[in-house]
Amino acid sequence: MSEARVDDLVAGVLDGEHRALARAITKIENREPGYRDLVSALHAHTGDAEVIGVTGSPGAGKSTLVDKLAKRYRDRGLTVGVVAVDPSSPYSGGAVLGDRIRMASNVGDMDVFFRSMSARGQLGGLSTATADAITALDAFGKDRIIVETVGAGQNEVDVVRTADTVVVLVQPGSGDDVQMLKAGILEIGDVFVVNKADMDGAATTVSDLREMLHMRDGSPASAGAAGHHGMGSMADGDDDVAEDSADDWDPVVVETVATENTGVEDLIDALDDHYAHLRETGELDRRERARYAEGIRQLLRSDTADLLEDEIARHGGMDALVDAVQAREADPYTVADRILDPLADCVDRRRE
């Protein structure tokens, strides 16, 4: 895409044109030529949206709850963007469920923008393209952006990289959900929702969940986690990024019956309270810094991997390199040095 066409698309997004927003996100998801310039241009116009991540095991009612949540935000006069990250097709790489109609309460409302995106094989359910789509929605002017993830258990910590507040849905009486929480997803939640709270076993699930949260917050292992959500590990030890908040947030448990629109207002109140907490304690800024640090590292890893693949191809491909090592004509260290030397030379020349 030419620079002029990118500029036109950026202008359309900033002017609030929904067609331009849809085209921008399509370009971002498909990684079409010019998408990086597009995201770069939009970045300067971000920072006003509140981003909410919604995760949980399949069947917990995430889509229904997100639909009702968006409707309630609209009732308050707020605009909403929803990115639903679907499992990737093993054949096309596209979203298996496609642009399914699951925002039934918001059909025809132009101020609710919904996009279903492919997770592109990432176990955490989020890809770099999803984060870039959030940039587009933020620049467009959406007040609330909701990211609904696949629900892949412990790997769902990827949602932390894009959300200010993480909502974890739990089904009543589900042993699988309890195991999921024990596996590590318990650590990433700010607000926990026991959905389908009219089912048998809901009270027990709420009680068990609160007990698990109490044990988490009172245990030495939990206290040593680098910042809430494990942000410190994301920043690889950057002290200014991973600084612990002296006033830590106590996770809230909310009961909802999304199909009946019950408890949704309580959930929004909890989300508002958490966002206010982030602002008051300075944690909002720390989380943003952690996201940018991880995003930069992710891009560097990805771009460097592409450069290395090109260099491997220039040396005859991986099979040829392996043949040489297997024949004892070379060793893995020598091969690695041979691949990296040209890249290192380029870096050295740029430093001079």
Per-residue pLDDT reduced to its tens digit, 166-216: 998 888 876 555 666 655 677 788 999 998 888 888 888 888 888 888 887
- Residue 194, classed as helix, strand or coil, is strand
Per-residue pLDDT band for 12 (boundaries 50, 70, 90) equals very high
**Residue 152, SS3?**
coil
Average pLDDT of every residue of the chain: 82
Q: Residue 10: how many CB atoms within 10 A of its CB?
A: 21
Site of tokens 């995760």: 55
pLDDT tens track for 249-308:
899 999 999 999 999 999 999 999 999 999 999 999 999 998 899 889 988 998 999 999
Nearest to 341 by CA among 306, 315, 303: 315
CA 75, 78, 79, 81 torsion-angle sign:
negative
CA dist 54 and 64 (Å) reads 11
Give CA separation, 158 vs 63, 91, 152, 326, in Å: 19, 24, 10, 38
Length of the chain equals 352
Task: Indicate if the pLDDT at residue 227 is higher than 50.
Answer: no
In the block, residue with structure tokens 């809430």: 228
For 276, counting Cβ atoms within 10 Å of its Cβ (0-12 exposed, 13-18 middle, 19+ buried), the class is exposed
At residue 192, what are phi and psi to the nearest 5 degrees?
Answer: -110, 135
Q: What is the per-residue pLDDT for 256?
A: 94
List of domains in the chain: 1-45 (no CATH), 46-281 (3.40.50.300), 299-351 (no CATH)
Question: What is the share, in percent, of the chain residues with pLDDT greater than 90?
Answer: 53
Give me the pLDDT at residue 20, please: 96
Phi-psi region of 58 (alpha: psi -120 to 50; beta: other; left: phi over 0): beta
First to last CA, the chain: 33
pLDDT over 80 (residue 238): no
What angle do the packed helices 18-30 and 3-14 form, to 10 degrees? 130
What is the distance between the alpha carbons of residues 277 and 318, in angstroms, rounded to a whole number? Answer: 51
Range in 158-167, 212-221, 236-245, 333-342 the model is least confident about: 236-245
